[in-house]
Amino acid sequence: MIGTTIGNYEVKRLLGEGGTGKVYLATHPTIGRHAAVKVLATSDATDPEVVSRFINEARAASGIRHPNIVDVYDSGVLDSRTPYIVMEYLDGESLKQALSRGPVALRDAIDWSCQLAEALVAAHAHHIVHRDLKPDNLFLIADPRNPGRRQVKVLDFGIAKLQCPTHHQVHRTRTGALLGTPLYMSPEQCMGSKDIDARSDIYSFGVILYEMVSGNLPFDSDSVWDVMNMHINDQPIPPGTYRLSLPTLLEAIILQALSKEPRQRQQSMADVLSQLAPLRESLDTSPDITASAAQDAIRLAQADRRFGGDDILAFLTEIDEMLDAPLGMEIVGGAAALLGHGAKSPTKDINSFGAFDERIRQSAVLTTLRIPLNRAPTSDVLGFYDDRRVRLYLPFRKLVIWVPDRYDLLFMKLVRASRHDVQVLEEMHAYRPFDIDAIIEKYNDSPRLDRIGRQLQVVMHRLFGEAAKGLRRLGRLTRRS
């Protein structure tokens, strides 16, 4: 096959193979365009039903013509009477491969689900129901329209149902044949109903979106029949159980799509798309409006929550994955102590200033944990900060994190010296002891000490015990002779 010409394309190499055939990379010799050539397995070329599905795939995809559906260039039959399809070559990965790494960032889940919904709106407008939506049949490539984002491509319309009475339905199924993939099938598919319409795709869409945001399937079992029974009879665990920060609106959309009765689901993919619109707008709306308002809501919702060092690192990792250019972020307070100076006490938020950027605030509302972000009160903080910054070498691609020198952070904490602040300083001291002489040397003549006399005495005693008795506070920090 390699080196031969199929249609107008010269076959270059094998890309992959499966139970139904092989896929080759081919190139148009004149215009240089790459294509993927799908050739049906010789063993299936004499099976009318398999051939019918293969032809159906070409007919269904080519009839829709949508940027989120793989483009079909040509189809035909080889001299060996084996059918082939020439289609758009895609360089990327399947959604299944992406999900193998766990749940996706909310920004991506919302963006990709909207693209999938748009593709299905177009397919349904052509009276085509896919009937086999699953992560294997969704491909992610670099989005030429939106640098830094990914474009969804819907594949494999092999068992799509052409509903329009003006189309001749070539594909027929054997009695009792199971069409679809059980983990993503609608209840009516599981029951073998002949009345499958667009609302079956809505259910499968709901399963996929559930998996994207939670990292879990709504129904799973080693037994195909158990899974099908669950689709028919069991209620799914709300996806927010796995992702506590999941927006209520998004969870409601998913659960409605997973309704057992088609009449209780959204009645069209256009309905789903309109429900997703407010979430999608939050990706592109001006950050000084939407992101700030969203952060205020997050701050209220998370008021009683505390976040440890691992939480903060996971939060920043998600932000890093959303950035399309390098960006610095300067963190102070408890989060800085957790990330860079050995503290263990959880914090309720992240305080930042200097290089703090609205792109970070906008991305933060789409993360899993959605930790509140605050601009540090610079009038309080800068008075005890001499810009001795420390860069943290964390496993990020774009995000660069800076924190204050540990002695500057000590004096920032002394501004309030709450019980939590003192505990953090004790943890920092246990991790790497402060030097009492270094404190005196750095701050002995600073007029800034006038504001924190009492706090200083308390903290120094907590950190140094008996050694602190050799200190007195008379306008400046001195050592008793």
Residue with tokens 């969704």: 138
| Sign for the pseudo-dihedral over CA of 95, 179, 234, 111 | positive
The beta strand positions in 320-371, using DSSP E, are 327-332, 350-353
132 is catalytic: yes
CA distance 96 to 207: 13
Give CA angle at 154 (206, 128), nearest 5°: 80
Burial 240-257 (b: 16+ CB within 10 A, else e): beebebbbeebbebbbbb
Any residues with CB less than 8 A from the CB of 43 and at least 6 apart, and which? none
Residues with Cβ within 8 Å of residue 206, at least 6 apart in sequence: 253, 254, 255, 256, 257, 258, 265
Q: Which pair of structure tokens corresponds to residue 80?
A: 């060996």
Choice among 111, 132, 197, 349 that is catalytic = 132
Asked whether 462 and 426 are in contact (CB, 8 A), the reply is yes
Paired with 37 in beta bridges are: 24, 86
Beta bridge partners of 150: 142
Work out the widest C-alpha separation in the chain, in whole angstroms.
103
Residue 430 corresponds to which tokens in the numbers above?
Answer: 């246990």
Residue with the two structure tokens 């002949």? 194
Query: How many other C-beta atoms can be found within 10 angstroms of the C-beta atom of residue 448?
Result: 13
Kind plus residue range of the DSSP H or E element containing 6: strand 5-6
Q: Residue 100: CB partners within 8 Å, gap ≥ 6?
A: none
CA-wise closest residue to 82 among 117, 50, 59, 56: 50
d(CA 184, CA 134): 6
Tokens of 75: 């189809």
Taking 3-state DSSP, the helix, strand and coil percentages for the chain, each rounded to the nearest 5, stand at 45, 20, 35
Catalytically active residues are 132
